[in-house]
Structure 1
Amino acid sequence: MRPLLRDTAFTTALATGLALIGVAATPASAQAEPTRLYPPSALVLSVAKGESAATATVERAVTLSCAPTAEGTHPAPAAACKELSAVDGDFARLTRLNAAAPCTRIWDPVTVTGEGIWKGKRVTWSATYGNTCEMSVGMWKSAVFEF
């Protein structure tokens, strides 16, 4: 398996997402004073096959920018931004267990990640599920990873 950061789709999506908010490889001391009214909120979200974010193969990835407006390659940016705002960008609070939903016990791990900037602060989050059914149950009724 390839490392996550070497995957072309993920790397391209991460670079695009960071470019949307103006994050560059410039040291913080050399950056000018912020000129935005809103702290940046721009993320790269991915769904990958594998047991960890470091080694999983990215199957799909999107960008999501929430400030000042919801936009990006995410199919429902407004709904995803609304959900993230409700939990103050804490991806772990988006997950819920729906015990009524049956899933097979086939081990085919799926790792979801959220990386970037939320209200001006760097965030890195990932969760691994046993298979896509468990991921759907874990992200039950969440628009954030529906892409």
Structure 2
Amino acid sequence: MNKVITLLAGAALLTGAALTGSAATAATAPAPAPASADPATKAGHVQLSVDHLVAGQHETSTLWLDCPGVKKPDHPHRDEACTDLDAADGDFDRLPGRPGTRCAAVQDPVSVTARGISEGRRVNWSHSYANPCEMYVATGEVFNF
């Protein structure tokens, strides 16, 4: 009986020491960096679409914009589009566009959409413009494809 008690007491001491050692290690180990510090969380993978009404028919162009450009370059102006999105902190309503560009008052409707991840946040955005020039003034290179 003494042997059983001695074995149980020894096991309890070892378990207690192991737990104390784990707690001490956990207390001195550096905390992991917050997720926002990881540059990958600011990456973007956004599907862009431009729907243009031409001669009564809808013509839709769609491609992917990856920022930073880690995949094949679908977007013909990817670097400029990514710079614009970065300046807007991923908010399509705040794109810098191309202020100062003058557009003719022509009705040539165009609608744009963006769906995916931008600056680490989910995006589901759309907007319509009177013509492609007004779209370019508002969105710069992002929808210029």
- TM-score normalized with structure 1 length: 0.57
Counterpart residue number, 2:143: 145
Q: Which has the higher helix share?
A: 2
1:48 matched to 2:46: no
Structure 2 CA distance for partners of 1:109 and 1:120, relative to 1, 3 Å? same
Work out the CA distance in 1 between the residues paired with 2:45 and 2:118: 6
- Whether contact under 8 Å (1:70, 1:77) holds in the other structure is no
Work out the CA distance in 2 between the residues paired with 1:95 and 1:86: 7
Q: How many residues align?
A: 104
Work out the CA distance in 2 between the residues paired with 1:104 and 1:68: 36
1:54-98, CA deviations, whole angstroms, 9 ceiling, x for partnerless residues? Answer: xx9452111111147475300121221111111111111115585
Structure 2 CA distance for partners of 1:45 and 1:99, relative to 1, 3 Å? same
Counterpart residue number, 1:74: 75
Unaligned runs of 5+ in 2: 1-37
Counterpart residue number, 2:104: 103
Aligned-residue identity in percent? 37
- TM-score normalized with structure 2 length: 0.58
Instruction: Specify the SS of the correspondent of 2:40.
Output: coil
Provide the alpha-carbon RMSD of the alignment.
2.9
Instruction: Specify the SS of the correspondent of 1:122.
Output: strand
Counterpart residue number, 2:135: 135
Counting only pairs closer than 5 Å after superposition, residues 1-147 of structure 1 correspond to structure 2 as 38-39=40-41, 40-49=43-52, 57-67=58-68, 69=70, 71-94=72-95, 96=97, 98=99, 101-106=102-107, 108-139=108-139, 142-147=140-145
Structure 2 CA distance for partners of 1:70 and 1:109, relative to 1, 3 Å? same
AA at the equivalent of 1:123:
V
AA at the equivalent of 2:49:
S
- Whether contact under 8 Å (1:110, 1:135) holds in the other structure is yes
Bigger radius of gyration among the two: 2
Work out the CA distance in 1 between the residues paired with 2:59 and 2:120: 26
AA at the equivalent of 1:77:
R
Structure 2 CA distance for partners of 1:65 and 1:103, relative to 1, 3 Å? same
Structure 2 CA distance for partners of 1:88 and 1:127, relative to 1, 3 Å? same
